[in-house]
Every structure is written in C-alpha cells, then in structure tokens.
Chains A and B, each alone.
Chain A
Amino acid sequence: MNSIGKKYLIIVKLILVIVLASFIFVAMSFIDQKYEYPVIDLNDGWTVIDGDEVREDVNIHDIDVGIRKDGNVLILTHELPHERIHTPAIYLRSGLCALTVTIDGGMIYTYGKDYAQNGKLIPKKANYIPLPEQFGGKTVRIIINYSEDNIHSALSNVYLGNRAELVRYVIGTKRGVLVLSVFLAVFGICLILLSPYLLLYGNNDLGIAICGLMAFMMGYYALCYYDLLLMFSDNLEMSTVGEYVSVYMVSVLILVFLYTVQRDRLKRVTAVLACANILVVAVLIVLHVLNILHINMVIRYIQGFSIIQSFYVLYVAVKTFRQNRMEELHDAALWLSDNCLLAGMVVFVVSALADVLKYVIIAALNSNRRIYNFSFVTYGALVFVIAMVMNYFFHTISHYNADDVRKKLMGVAYTDPLTRISNRARSEMELVRLEQDKNEYVIINIDLDHLKEINDTKGHLEGDRLLRGFANELSNAFYDAKIVGRMGGDEFIVIMGSIRWNTLEKRLESFQEELKGKYDFSYGFAKNSEVKGTTAHEVFLMADSRMYMMKEIHHEGGKV
C-alpha cells in the first residue's frame, strides 16, 4: 500500500512540475520588445485568381491550397494601407513554390525560378519582400508558381512592417519553439556522446543512444518546420529536406526503441519493420539527392504506411505496458520510470496520428484551414522528452532509495554500537582494501588508558561514557581519515591516506596535549612506505609495537 501511495504522490508532484514549467514557458512569451513602427496583419482582404476562378476579399488561410499540380498558378492581390513605415517590407513564407511579387506592375521580388529550371525541389523560404517607401494605396500582386505535383503546403500569415522589426517580430513569435528545439537537439547530441561510455561500462545499453537520436531528430524537425534553422544558415534545401528526413527518422527510431523494450515474439516483426523503414529512408534520400524522385512526392504513401505502423506500435506498447504491470512492484520509482518512457512514446504516436487525421479531415471537409497551423506532433515530442527526463529522474530516486537502504544495512553491520564509529570488521575490511590499492597509507594505533580502573572503581556506565567521549574527540580530530574505528576494548585505530611524518607527529602530539587529564592515551603509527612490500597487517603490528613502547614509557614516567 505504501508503495502505491508513494506512486500517487510522485504523479501529483509530476503534474505540479508540468504546470510550473508551462508557466515559465508562458511567462517567457511576455518578455516582449518595443516596436517603433506598427506590424500590420495582412491576412484579410485578398483577391485570389486560382486558374479560372476569381474570388474577392478572402482570408489568406481560407484560400484552398489543396493539392497542387505542376504548372498551377495562384495570383494574390491586395491594396496596401497608408502607413508611414521606414524601410518597409512584407513577410510571407512560401512552401515549395516559386514567387514573383510586383507592385503596381513593377517587379520587386522573385524567388525559386532557378530551382524550377534545374528540375530541383523549390525549398520553402521565409521571404522578406522589400517595398518602396511610398507604398500606401499601391497594389501588391503575388504570383505563386507550382512546378511540381503533390504539393500540399498552406500559406502563412502575411505581415507588413519595418524590415528589421518584422524579422524580430517573426522570430519573437517562435522564441519558445527556438529554445525548446535547440535544447532538444543539443540534449540529443549530449546523450549520443555519452553512449560509448554507457555501452562500454554499462550493460551494453543502447537505449540511451536511441533516445538521444530521437531527441535530436525531434529538435531538428522543429528547427526545420518552423524555419528556425534558417536563422543560422542559408542552406534552404537542407532545411526543407531535413524536415522530411527527420520526421521519417523519428518513426524509424520509435520502432527501434520499441525493439529494445519489447519482450515477446513480435520482437522479430519489429526488427524487420525497423530495417525496412531505414532502407526506405535511405533510398528516398538517395533518390532525392540524385534528383530522380523528390522526397515530397511520396509523402502520402509514407503517411498511409505510418498510420498502419503506428497502430502496430500502439498495440505492442500497450502489451508491453501490461506485461510490466504484472511484474512485482519492488520499487515504485523504478516501475514508473520504465513505463514513463513507454507512455511518453504512446502520447507521441497518438499525436502523430492526430496530425495525419487532421490532414485527412481537412482534405475531406475542404474548409477551415486555420487549424492547419497547429501541429500535434510538436507537442507530442515535448511530452516524449519530458517523459524521457522524468525517466532519468525516477532512476535517480530509485538510486537514492537503494543507497539509503544499503547505508542502513552497512551501518548496522559495520558500526560499533557503543561509540558509533567503525567497528573491527569494518576496520579489517579497510586493511584488506588498502593492500589492494597499493597507495600510501598510515595506520595509527591508539590505546586509551585507565579504562579498567574506571570500570572497576566507577562502574561500567562511566567506562562507557569514557569510550564514547574519546571516540567523539578522535573522529573530530581525524575528520580527514579514511577510517576511525574501535578494534575492541580500549583499542582504537585510525587509517589515513598519505600524510607527512612530521605533520602527523605534530597533530598527534597536540591532540594528546589537548586531551591531557581528560583522556590519556598512548599511540603508535607506521607507514606502509617504511618497508617495501609489507602487508597491511605487518604495518598494523609495527604501529602496535610502537604504541606499546610509548605505553611503557608512560608507565615508567608514572612510577618516577
């Protein structure tokens, strides 16, 4: 029962963290910048000429983009408002199509023609179209040429504003995504870089590397999808192709990940599926690079295939989940950590399915294109990564729990109950360890005086108090020792790492001086470096005999 209660507590805290994290995320979007000029939303009021059809006063998101064919032309016109803006520009994101922009008949901007002439896929681009300073009342005409079949790409928001501020504004709306996706990508790279270590020192565990690759691909996908990669680079083709490749790779990696956690007969099916997928991605990349088949052409087939595949993934995931449930609940945290990752993956797959479904619904209903801009996958990816981080954390909790238990057991087995310092068994274990390590060390033997007399005259309670008090002083004085222990009766031992002979002598002398009258004791110490090739036991005996020498002197001194 206790372990189940703990489990719920963890879930409650988890929800708390997610709420907090999203609060930070929202708060971040409030840090906004001041703009000198207005940023004007030009989404409404377009006149659209689509083939033979002409429509007036259309919202840019309501333009039926549908699936375009090679040679289709879409012409959009809009009258520009009267506004005084220094170095004005129009922002328009184009997807896989060529653009020509004219203002009152004069051409001011063109993009993508050269790609089309070479038979290449025209990359998507965030266009900043420069306008003349006196643009008010003039008519801007945007001619979109499609040079490829199967292009299904919506138009973005259109803004008019000061060129520099427009850039800031567009990036500003994507700040959160920028931070998240860069984090994902770098986090992925870090995990991949750590994987050799885990491979060699862990248990051949490839899970980390796969998770890392998946995080990287998700981050890279978001960077491409939101045109953020183009902030740093002008490689338009890489950004376009990267979007497709990374999203395919994620589906491959999900299968590979499933393979690592799966425990039933279907494991082989998963392996075959994963290999087939990798092959498909490789072939597609080669075909695209050789300009034989553009990667966007097959997207519908791939999507159809992914739907079937994701049902399979869900089936296997649920099955594995149920198998895990039937296992013993040794450790609530560990149980959560295993299923956390699986649950994260399920959420991701479901969100990917939702995206595809949305695609189908939009195509079927042929309306309300505005939800087009919402991508479930991105949020699914976020959930997956949170699950991944949580997974690590539950492992940590489990680690600490186990560590506590171990420490408690060790404490009982290796502590002297009276003085709370190490007992004889612990000290002897350390002696064995010292011999294996071959480092320099010092053994100090200490013998407390007067224990027998006190026991006899004042009683055992007083004797115990003497022992406890001295043990306390000893462990305070030798806080830097490897071991401060009681070997039995009135004998104590201190084991230290390398320390200079003189320093140690001085420390012991001042320690003895400090406690004089309260606790009297004799000591002797020996280093393993004094004689080559000695065993720890011999060093111990050497220290012991020196201690006896001191004891004898003390007693003689007492007589005099």
Chain B
Amino acid sequence: MISRKNQRLMLCVLLTLVLLWAIVSVLKINITFDPDDEVTVLNGGWSAEYKGVKYEGFNINDIGTILPGNIMRGDLLTLSHEIYDISGLDFPTLLFKTQYCAYQVYIDDKMVEEQYLMDYAHGNFVGCGYHYVTLPSDSTGKKLSIKLYAAENKAYKGILAPMIGDYHDLESGLLHSNIFVIASSIYLVCFGLVFFIISTVFSSYSREIISQIVSSLLCILMGLWILFSNNLAYIFVFNSYSTLWEFILIILIPAVGFLMLSTVDRSNLRKLYRIIAVVDIIFLIFILFLHVNNIIHIRAFIFVCHIMSAACLIFMVYNDIKFFRHGGYSGSEIVQTLGLTALGGATVLSIPFYITKKSGSIGGSISDMIIPIGAMLFAMAILLNFMLFITESYARKREYASLARLAYIDEMTELYNRAMSDKKMDDMDHSSEDYCIISIDVNGLKRVNDEMGHAKGDILLKNVAGVLGEVFSDKATVCRIGGDEFTAFVEKGDERSINSLINDMKLQINDLNSENDGIYYSVSYGLAFRHDCPGEDSHAVFMLADKRMYESKRQYYKNIVR
C-alpha cells in the first residue's frame, strides 16, 4: 500500500514530468532546424602525412588508432581531402575543431587561413575551439589540406570530422544542437549572479546566507565552465582564452564544492574542507603563474583537478550518507543536499562517457548534456528553497491575520474592540496630523436589559453597531470599548464632513425605530478634535469627547423626563 504522503509525492513528480515533456515538445516544434543547402560531413576518404609516413583512405574517426605512438609537442599532421561540389552554396565554409593545435588550411597549394602560428612559435598556450574557414567559391574538385601543428602533447585526441556547407547552415546547426548547453549555461551564470548580488548586498551574516552565496558562486562557475568546455564561448568572446578559462574553472569548482560542503556539514570536518579549498586556490594561483610564464602549461596539471574533483565527490557521498542516516533536517536543508547530490551524481555519470569518448562531435549528445542537467537541478534546488520560504511566509501572514482578528475584533458586534482603540490612540499620538474622536453611547441599554431581557439588549447593541459600521465604514475606525460605549476615530476630515457623517448616523439610527421591535433606538455622542486640546495627548481628546457625550446624554434624559 502506498501512503497518502507518497501518493502526493508521486503525483507531484508525475505532474512535473508531464509539464517537462510538454515544454520540451512545444520547444522542439517551435525551434526546428533544417539546413537550406546540403551540409557534407567529411568522414571517410582522408589521407594524412605524419612524420614522413603517408596514410591513405581512412575514416577520420579512427585517426587515434592509425597514428603511431604518442603525439608530442612540435609534431605536424597534414590531413587532406577532396572538396565535393560546392557551387550551390552562397557562403561555402569549412567547419572544423582543433585541440591544442595551430593550423593552416590550404586549397591545392594556396593557403586560405592560418591561426595561432605565432603563439605556437613562441611556446604560448593554444587552446581548443571551432573554426569557420571561408572557402573560395571555385574550390570544387580541388584538394583541401589542413596542417595541424601540435602545441601540446597528445594534441589530436578526438578530431571532429570537418564539415563543408553554407555558413549559416553550419553555424545554426552547431548552435541548434547545443541549444540546451547554451541556454542552461547562460541561465546558470545569470541566476548565480542575481542571487550572488542579492545575498551579498542584502543580508546580515548568517549561516544560511553563507551557504547561499557559495551555491550562487557554484552556479556561476558551473555555467561558465559548461560554456567554455563545450567551446561555445565564441558566441560572446574570443576563442583564444576559452580553454585556459576552462582549466581555471575546473580547478576552482572543486574548491567551491569543498566550501559548499563546509557550509552543509556540522561536524569537525568543516575545518578540513575549508583548508582544502584554500590550498586548492593557492595551487591554482601557483600554476597560473607557471602557465603565464610558459614554464609548464596548465594542461599538465589536469590530473590534479581530477583528483580534487574525485575527493570532493567522495566527501559529498560521505556527507550524503551521514545526512540521511542522521535525519531531523529541515525541508530546505534536504532540498539543498538533494541539489548538491544531483550535481555530484551528474559528474560521476559523465566520467564513463568522458573516458570512452573517442572522437569529437558537434555536441548535443546525451553525454554533453549530463553535467548541464545536473547543474540545472542544482539551480532548481536553490530556487525551490526560495519558493519554500515564500509559501511559509504566506502561511505566516495568514496566521498573523487570524491572530490580529482574535486580538482586535469584538465578537458580538464585529467592530474593533478596546485593544484596537488603545492601539489607535497610541498610533495617533505618534503622528502629527489632526484627528477627531467621537464618543458614542447607546441610550437605554440598561433599561432594555432589565425590562426585556439580555437577548433584546444584544439586538439593540448589534443593530446600533451595524449602523455605525456602515456609516463610518472606510471613513473612520469604530471600536466598542465597553458595554454600551463606542468610539469612532476620524483621521481625515473637516468639521463639515464629520457633521454630515453624524447626521447620517442619527438618521439611520432613527430609521431603526420603524422596525417596531419594541426597542427605542437612540444614541448620545460627543466629539472632540485634536486642535481642541493643544499640546495634550489623545487621552485628553477622548476625555473631552466623553465629557461632551455625557452632556448630550444629560440633555436627552432631561427631554425624556419632560
């Protein structure tokens, strides 16, 4: 049997999945891509020259197995292929990807493009990236050669099969297949930035805020890393530094991960986590120094990043186990830990793909999407945390409202009670505006109670209160401060408008007498303005109003007796 709680959880997950499916399919229908002209992927039929040896007619995806031994810095690989018919293309373009290589592109023996050769000559770092090379429109049938100068060891791992097509088809195709990666990285960076600014500027120090700052930082770094590691930063900035940034980020991310752990953890390990994070950052500065001075390039230290990440993941798993065995955490802590686990899990999942990945692709495959999905789940967890706060504060608001009702409402008449009247007088003492207090007393309540019973007395009170509530509704605050005593506070109004209010009240009370329920309805009242008692507080004003009310009451009884 499934408990009610689980049922609701399942319904929730199901609904979310349905929504996700709906959104994805709507977007898929909307954002389609179908190249106008033919895009040719040059897979087979390549010939190559490497270290004086020629290789003929192979598939470019197998290049890792064909070339002998390890590729060392300074090696030159020349790849050649025949160009098919490109006469139908508006902007014939070659798209290919290099990794740690300088390159030259030749059509027959004419060079059409070269890049990074100066950097290569000076021993500078050369990164990875996509390249669009414009082909002359008369290239049909000629020989295309790409010369790759390895600037690092193991430079050719995973060459992307070059493509030829119309420029816009190639670019839109590349961006279309990477749309999820691009959208999620932009989102992560913006989201992280927004929450980073908000948390740092707005909050006083507290443990929750620190963990928020760290998670927003993690979001920013993950977003940037996703963009850089997929070589897509070229949409926004230069190509040349993107690989360097990728490496910097991949070292920084475990450091922030450890910081994150230190905010989640409650045991003595917190200090250890912080020390690791600081050591990691010092290490980063050190190898950046080596890198910039071309002593050792940052790529050589990549194994350290892997070790750090692995350590971070192991601690994360340890933390998770402890967390779920311990229990007794708040909803927001659980959500946060789940988000972090999703991110860690995605990283672990992507490792086998990373190892088995042979050749480059233009992205968009599942393996490229695992980490972005994990990072998105992490960001969703942060957002959900905020949502939990919102629902909570709405609930609290309602609670306050009901408390306020209990505290300030007179149950019998539904008008405000004595407490509200005291509060109102206190508030008015704190403002400098003029106001008017009207003291109202129901005539003959005691006699009705005595002669006709309390039920009739209640009716008398309720009917009078009803009239008062209606007449003064949004113009004054009416409170019942004692058995038959009412006070109205008018904050905005001159004598004329108040007189008309009082006339209204008298008329309507008089109208009650036409109901013939055996009760004679009438009230006495007295009013006083603040300016009647200069320099005194609201209590004095009230006393004056009360005094005037008693005068009118006396007048009323005199009339009756007469």
Q: Which residues of A contact B (CB under 8 A)?
A: 1, 10, 13, 16-17, 20-21, 24, 31, 33-34, 86-87, 89, 128, 130, 163-164, 167, 171, 175, 178-180, 182-183, 185-187, 189-203, 205, 208, 229-235, 238, 242, 328, 330, 334, 337, 389-390, 392-393, 395-400, 402, 437, 439, 479-480, 482, 497-498
Contacts and interface: CB of A to CB of B under 8 A. Distances in A.
A393 B200 CA distance: 12
A171 B168 CA distance: 13
A272 to B, nearest CB: 26
Contacts of A399: 389, 392-393
Interface in B184-220: 184, 186-187, 189-191, 193-194, 197-198, 201-203, 206, 208-209
A128 B168 contact: yes
B208 A334 contact: no
Interface string B150-194: 000000000000000001100110011001001110110111011
A276 B208 CA distance: 45
A200 B384 CA distance: 13
A299 to B, nearest CB: 21
B201 A238 contact: no
Interface stretch (B32-40, B461-469, B520-528): B32-40
A330 B403 CA distance: 12
A182 B171 CA distance: 18
Contact of B19 (A196, A238, A437): A196
Contact of B201 (A13, A183, A190, A400): A13
B30 interface: yes
A232 B15 CA distance: 29
Contacts of A89: 91
Given A17-B197, A190-B379, A233 B91 contact: no
Contacts, number: 198
User: Closest 4 CB pairs between A and B?
Assistant: A196-B15, A202-B391, A183-B190, A186-B187
B386 interface: yes
A175 B236 contact: yes
Interface in B35-49: 35-36
B325 A395 contact: no
B62 interface: no
Contacts of A439: 327
B26 to A, nearest CB: 10
Contact of B23 (A17, A192, A234, A402): A192
B11 A200 contact: yes
B176 A205 contact: no
Contacts of A180: 190
Contacts of B376: 190
Contact of B391 (A34, A178, A201): A201
Query: Residue among B328, B387, B394 with the most chain A CB within 10 A?
Result: B387
Give the dominant DSSP class at A's interface. Answer: helix
A1 B427 CA distance: 11
Contacts of B93: 164
B134 A232 contact: no
A79 to B, nearest CB: 23
B380 interface: yes
B238 interface: yes
A296 B380 CA distance: 37
A234 B179 CA distance: 13
B2 interface: no
B32 A190 contact: no
Given A242-B30, A497-B328, 11 more contacts: A163-B134, A164-B132, A190-B376, A192-B19, A193-B380, A197-B387, A198-B387, A205-B391, A233-B33, A238-B31, A497-B326
A337 B190 CA distance: 21
Contacts of B539: none
Given A179-B190, A233-B32, A393-B202, A194 B197 contact: no
A195 B384 CA distance: 10
B391 A232 contact: no
Contacts of A13: 201-202
B383 interface: yes
Contacts of B8: 200-201
Nearest to B168: A128
Contacts of B389: 392, 395-396, 398-399
A186 B183 contact: yes
B393 A480 contact: no
Nearest to B27: A189
Nearest to A180: B190
A187 B384 CA distance: 12
A199 B16 CA distance: 11
B175 A232 contact: yes
A194 B32 contact: no
Interface string B376-412: 1001100110110111111111001000100000000
Query: Residue among A33, A200, A390, A392 with the most chain B CB within 10 A?
Result: A392
Contacts of B201: 13, 16-17, 20
A233 B396 CA distance: 47
A190 B383 contact: yes
B187 A203 contact: no
30 contacts: A21-B197, A24-B193, A87-B91, A128-B168, A164-B132, A164-B167, A171-B235, A182-B183, A185-B183, A190-B187, A192-B23, A193-B20, A194-B387, A196-B15, A201-B12, A202-B390, A202-B394, A203-B395, A231-B171, A231-B175, A232-B182, A233-B33, A328-B400, A398-B389, A398-B396, A400-B209, A402-B396, A479-B268, A480-B326, A497-B326
A238 B190 CA distance: 26
Contacts of B391: 198, 201-203, 205
B379 A17 contact: no
A20 B197 CA distance: 8
A223 to B, nearest CB: 10
Contacts of A1: 430
A201 B194 CA distance: 26
Interface string B73-93: 000000000000000001101
Given A13-B201, A389-B194, A202 B31 contact: no
B266 interface: yes
A411 B238 CA distance: 56
Contacts of A86: 134
Nearest to B268: A479
B267 interface: yes
A498 B326 CA distance: 8
A233 B176 contact: yes
Contacts of A337: 393
A434 B33 CA distance: 58
A232 B31 contact: yes
Contacts of A87: 91, 134
B114 to A, nearest CB: 13
Contact of A235 (B31, B184, B203): B31
Contacts of B392: 399, 402
A234 B190 contact: no
A361 B334 CA distance: 56
Contacts of A234: 32-36, 172
A480 B395 contact: no
B231 to A, nearest CB: 16
Contact of A232 (B176, B198, B394): B176
B42 to A, nearest CB: 20
B134 A191 contact: no
B237 interface: yes
A235 B27 CA distance: 12
B503 to A, nearest CB: 26
A89 B392 CA distance: 58
B34 A183 contact: no
Contacts of B268: 479
Nearest to A188: B23
A175 B328 CA distance: 46
Contact of B186 (A128, A183, A208): A183
Nearest to B112: A86
Contact of B167 (A20, A163, A189): A163
Given A197-B384, A234-B172, A330-B400, A205 B34 contact: no
A234 B23 CA distance: 20
